[in-house]
Amino acid sequence: MAKARINRWLLIPGAAIVLAGLAVAGWIWAVRWTPDRTHYAEQGLWLDAGDGAVDWGTLKATGPGGHGADFVYLTASSGAASRDSAFAHGLDAARAAGLQVGAVHVYDLCAPADTQASNFVTTVPRDRRLLPAAIALDLDPRACRDPPGEAVIDSELTTFLNEVERHLGRPVVLMPSPALESRYHLAARIDRNVWVTGDYRVPTYVARPWVLWTATHRLRLAGVAGPVRWVVVQP
């Protein structure tokens, strides 16, 4: 009996090592995974000032599986007054490196739509070379503690879209989070292309075909210090 107990105790360090090895292997897979290029030929990322300094040449030349990024979306503005400090430089630098560039506005459900639109159009140039702008919408209690009802969302978002699309000269792409889409069903009611979000698996939370998918927000790659959001285009 004593010998059996000793043998069991001897097995514990070995099991711990195996589990630690599996955890490390899982982490390495998670931070390197991107969708297969044979299924999604166009791939890129979404960055903002929080991602830190970017080596744009490396980002364009080197990426997952030896393929660099094809495009980048840059956060331009948030809510009624916040502007991303890295947008203007990132726009010029990304283009100089040969990347296509798009702009993102992070929508605040509690801020006036016309003020948000003004913030965006004074930040993002009227430039036909830009990819269609994306509007990120989420239920964020830090920004909006008491989200409005569906009718108010429809009215305010229509105002915002009219002003922004008049400035850009083309429709935007809506990027509703799973939580927001579950509550408001925007993708089903507003006729715009949709950008979905979901790590590692193709999301199914919108009731229409999507055009862009944030496939992971954990990717580590050369040219950016921290983990990034990797985005693919629907073929």
Q: What is the pTM for the complete model shown?
A: 0.88
Distances from the Cα of 26 to the Cαs of 21, 23, 33, 217, 219, in angstroms?
Answer: 9, 5, 10, 15, 13
Q: What is the pLDDT of residue 23?
A: 42
Listed as ranges, residues in the chain with pLDDT below 50 are: 18-27, 29
Please tell me whether residues 93 and 1 are part of one structural domain. no
Burial of 166 (0-12, 13-18, 19+ CB in 10 A): exposed
Listed in order, strand segments (DSSP E) in 96-211 are: 100-106, 134-137, 173-176, 193-197
Instruction: Say what the pLDDT of residue 9 is.
Output: 64
Give the residue among 127, 221, 207 at the shortest CA–CA distance from 174.
207
CATH of the domain at 208: 3.20.20.80
Residue-level pLDDT at 30: 61
Are 104 and 133 in contact by the 8 Å Cβ rule? The answer is: yes
Whether 25 and 54 map to the same domain: the answer is no
**Domain range for 110:** 36-233
Our count of domains for the chain comes to 2
Would you state the pLDDT for residue 14? 59
